[in-house]
Structure 1
Amino acid sequence: MRSFSVFLSGLWLCACAAHASMPEYQTFPAEGQRLMLWVASAHGRSDPELVAAKRLAKHGVEVWSLDPASAYFLPQVASSMDTLPVSDMAAWLRAAQETGKQVTVFAVARAAVPVLRAAALLGPAQRSRLCIMLMHPNLYTTAEPLAEPDYLDPGELSGLRVRVLQPRHSAAMPWLSDLLGDLARHGAIVSDVVLENLREGYWAREAPTGFEISESRRMDVMLLRQLDTWGCK
Structure 2
Amino acid sequence: MKLHILLICAFFSCSLLAKEMPSLEFSVAVSDQDINVIHYPASGKHLAIWFIPGLGKPDRIYDTALQLSRLGVEVWMVDLAESFFLPKGPSAMRAIDGKYVATLIDTAHKRTGKMVSLMGSSYSAIPVLRGIREWQAKQQSEGLSDNYLAGAVLFSPELYATIPALGLEPVFESIVDATNVPIVLYQAGKRGNRWQLDKLIARLEKGGANVYMKIMPGVTALYYDEDKTPATLDTLKQIPSQIVSSLNLLEKTTTPRVALPLSEIPSVSGSGLDSQLKPFKGEPTPPTINLTNSAGHPLSIQDYRNKVTVINFWASWCRPCVEEIPSLNNLRKQMENESFELISINYAEEVAQIQAFLQQVKVDFPVLLDPDGKESAKWHVLVFPSTFVIGPDGQIAYGLNGAIHWDAPDVVEQLRTLLPPSKEARLVD
User: Fold match, TM over 0.5?
Assistant: yes
In the alignment, residue 220 of structure 1 is paired with which amino acid? P
Q: 1:202 is paired with a residue of what secondary structure?
A: coil
Greater relative contact order (CA < 8 Å, ≥ 6 in sequence): 1
1:180 aligns with 2:201: yes
1:27 aligns with 2:49: no
Q: Which residue of 2 aligns with 1:90?
A: 102
Q: Would the alpha carbon gap of residues 178 and 16 (structure 1) be closer, same or farther in structure 2, given more than 3 Å must change?
A: closer
Do the aligned partners of 2:119 and 2:128 also contact (CA within 8 Å) in 1? no
Q: Which residue of 1 aligns with 2:51?
A: 39
User: What is the distance in 2 between the residues matched to 1:133 and 1:126?
Assistant: 21
Q: Which residue of 2 aligns with 1:150?
A: 171
* TM-score for both structures, normalised by structure 1: 0.82
Among 121, 124, 132, the residue aligned to 1:111? 124
Map of 1:1-233 to 2, 5 A cutoff?
8=28, 11=30, 14-17=33-36, 25-43=37-55, 46-98=58-110, 99-122=112-135, 123=139, 125=145, 129-144=149-164, 145-154=166-175, 156-158=178-180, 160-199=181-220, 201-228=221-248, 230-233=249-252
> Which 5+ residue runs of structure 2 have no aligned equivalent?
1-21, 253-429
**Alpha-carbon distance, 1:129 to partner:** 3.4
Q: Would the alpha carbon gap of residues 177 and 12 (structure 1) be closer, same or farther in structure 2, given more than 3 Å must change?
A: farther
Identity of aligned residues (%): 23
Q: Which residue of 1 aligns with 2:340?
A: none
> Which 5+ residue runs of structure 1 have no aligned equivalent?
18-24
Do the aligned partners of 1:45 and 1:67 also contact (CA within 8 Å) in 2? no
Q: 1:197 is paired with a residue of what secondary structure?
A: coil
User: What is the distance in 1 between the residues matched to 2:31 and 2:73?
Assistant: 21
When the two chains are superposed, the root-mean-square deviation of aligned CA atoms in Å is 2.7
Question: What stretches of structure 1 move > 4 A for 4+ residues in a row?
Answer: 124-128
Do the aligned partners of 1:157 and 1:186 also contact (CA within 8 Å) in 2? yes
Aligned length: 220
Q: Would the alpha carbon gap of residues 185 and 207 (structure 1) be closer, same or farther in structure 2, given more than 3 Å must change?
A: closer
Spell out, residue by residue over 1:99-141, the C-alpha distance to the aligned partner (whole angstroms, 9 max, x if none): 3212111111111111111111123556783310111111112
Do the aligned partners of 1:167 and 1:194 also contact (CA within 8 Å) in 2? yes
In the alignment, residue 149 of structure 1 is paired with which amino acid? P
Q: Would the alpha carbon gap of residues 12 and 106 (structure 1) be closer, same or farther in structure 2, given more than 3 Å must change?
A: farther
Q: Which residue of 2 aligns with 1:21?
A: none
* TM-score for both structures, normalised by structure 2: 0.47
Structure number with greater Rg is 2
